[in-house]
Structure 1
Amino acid sequence: MTGDSEFVDRLTPVLRPVRAGNGFEEALEQILQVIRLGLVPGGGRLPAERDLSELLGISRVTLREVLKVLQDQGLVESRRGRYGGTFVRPRADSPGEEELRRRVAAVDIEDVLRFREVLEAGAAELCAAQRLTGRDAERLRAALAATHEAPLPDYRRRDTLFHLTLAELAGSASLAAQYAAVRAALNDLLDCIPLLVRNLEHSQHQHTGLVEAVLAGDGETARAVTREHCAGTAALLRGFLT
């Protein structure tokens, strides 16, 4: 695979081979998730066409049709030249009040929060049961370290990557796919509330405890820490949005 393999690896929880018959639609859905999740930040470049088509299991012709739709919708732009490629267009810094109301009205907040808790707690317990070692353990540690090192404007993207990594390491492609979808809905809501330093410090403490429990093979603690972490986020969202 060409390009930065570490960068491409970060997208594997979301980008996976599509099923025959709906290649265009499923490829579009997956790349939209990458954009909505912020896995490629505004101004950042998507993987090379060759890498994307390989990850998705589609032809480059189909991929270009997908990218054309995204470009027509103003979500990406194509640049030519040595440093060219397909770049994600920056999103607005924060939603206006009308956009906030639209986002909140478009989802069942309680449903999103409950489903997120079930998936994350289950993923944490599964990871602990597998006693992650070697490259898998290093991936989890690296994802955690990236959240600790994140500048405030980039925190949510790295937090998303941390949780997606945990979901992927659980070993269930279906769980990882469902989690990517619910996380996209969650991020739409999180974008409507401010980043609170005190809350982020608490979240980081919980993240560390979660990784320690997973790597120690302590599924009960991993599940409990995850549920507490999800409850904190839920409390903030309910307070600001309901």
Structure 2
Amino acid sequence: MSRDGTSRPADRLAAVLRPVRAGNGFEEALEQILQVVRLGLVPGGERLPAERELAERLGVSRVTLREVLKVLQEQGLVEARRGRYGGTFVLRRADGGGQDELRRRIASVDIEDVLRFREVLEVGAAGLCASHGLDEGQASRLRAALDRTRDAPLGEYRRLDTLLHLTLAELCGSPSLTARYAAVRATVNDLLDCIPLLVRNLEHSQRQHAALVEAVLDGDADGARETMREHCAGTAALLRGFLA
């Protein structure tokens, strides 16, 4: 935690990066780093943690990790840079919306299943945070995540929105819920990338975010759950309208 109460990158990555199982080390490591990229936990143009740190956090060898990073490079998601300030950098993603890209992304996605599972996890996390209560440090993290979404540049809004929701999932106290939320949110982000950013919708979402955080900090579990349910329903309506 930094002095201003915001999460450092390492804190955010903890929601996704965890030791993999021995039998599927390569596949699970690839899945987790893909989630880091798709969730925007490391923004485009910034560097992933050093290979040594990533390998330790994932519990894989550096040989395995390099194979994973090679796949990400081949997919155009990261690039390796040499030199004193080198490393593996996340490439900036082009805007979604093209018809070919849209069809590719949603071809195998059951949109209704994704949206329902997301709602269950988000509503549950909001209720748990409110009913169990947050300590001073946790409350500060949540407020800081909300503050970063205010007046965010349009191109950064979805990434910062993701971090707010992921922070809430982390604070609910269930690592299993957090891991599953990170996975489903990555899929939701792929879907969101296929539809336009609507300023009116973002303004509405921001009001819901503020009400949600207020309910959580006030210990109003029913209010937090209902606000989150409405928030998820708004996103679902947009996705169904554009993609269903």
Q: What TM-score does the superposition give when structure 1 sets the normalisation length?
A: 0.93
Matches of 1:54 and 1:130, distance apart in 2: 32
How far has the Cα of 1:146 moved from its partner? 0.8
Match of 1:203 among 205, 210, 221: 205
User: Are residues 218 and 142 of structure 1, via their aligned partners in 2, closer, same or farther at CA, if it must alter by over 3 Å?
Assistant: same
Matches of 2:219 and 2:61, distance apart in 1: 41
How far has the Cα of 1:233 moved from its partner? 0.6
Residue number in structure 2 paired with 1:141: 143
Segment of structure 1 superposing worse, 201-210 or 10-19:
10-19
- CA offset digits 1:183-224 (Å, max 9, x no partner): 111111111111111111111111111111111111111000
Residue number in structure 1 paired with 2:230: 228
Paired residue type of 2:100: E
Matches of 1:143 and 1:119, distance apart in 2: 19
User: Are residues 55 and 149 of structure 1, via their aligned partners in 2, closer, same or farther at CA, if it must alter by over 3 Å?
Assistant: farther
Residue number in structure 2 paired with 1:240: 242
- CA offset digits 1:12-67 (Å, max 9, x no partner): 11112222332222111100111122222222211122322232233333322221
How far has the Cα of 1:109 moved from its partner? 1.0
Matches of 1:166 and 1:61, distance apart in 2: 35
**Which runs of 5 or more residues in structure 2 are unaligned?**
1-6
Paired residue type of 2:209: H
Match of 1:44 among 41, 46, 54: 46
Residue number in structure 2 paired with 1:190: 192
Residue number in structure 2 paired with 1:88: 90
Residue number in structure 1 paired with 2:111: 109
Residue number in structure 2 paired with 1:16: 18
Matched residues, number = 238
Segment of structure 1 superposing worse, 155-164 or 35-44:
35-44
Question: Is the Cα–Cα contact under 8 Å of residues 119 and 229 in structure 2 kept in the other structure?
Answer: yes
SS at match of 2:140: helix
SS at match of 2:22: coil
Paired residue type of 1:36: R
User: Are residues 150 and 55 of structure 1, via their aligned partners in 2, closer, same or farther at CA, if it must alter by over 3 Å?
Assistant: farther
Segment of structure 1 superposing worse, 65-74 or 130-139:
65-74
Residue number in structure 2 paired with 1:120: 122
How far has the Cα of 1:74 moved from its partner? 2.4
Matches of 2:141 and 2:19, distance apart in 1: 22
Match of 1:74 among 68, 73, 76: 76
The percentage of counterpart residues that share the same residue type is 76
Matches of 2:99 and 2:10, distance apart in 1: 35
Paired residue type of 1:109: I
**Which runs of 5 or more residues in structure 1 are unaligned?**
none
Paired residue type of 1:114: R
Paired residue type of 1:220: D
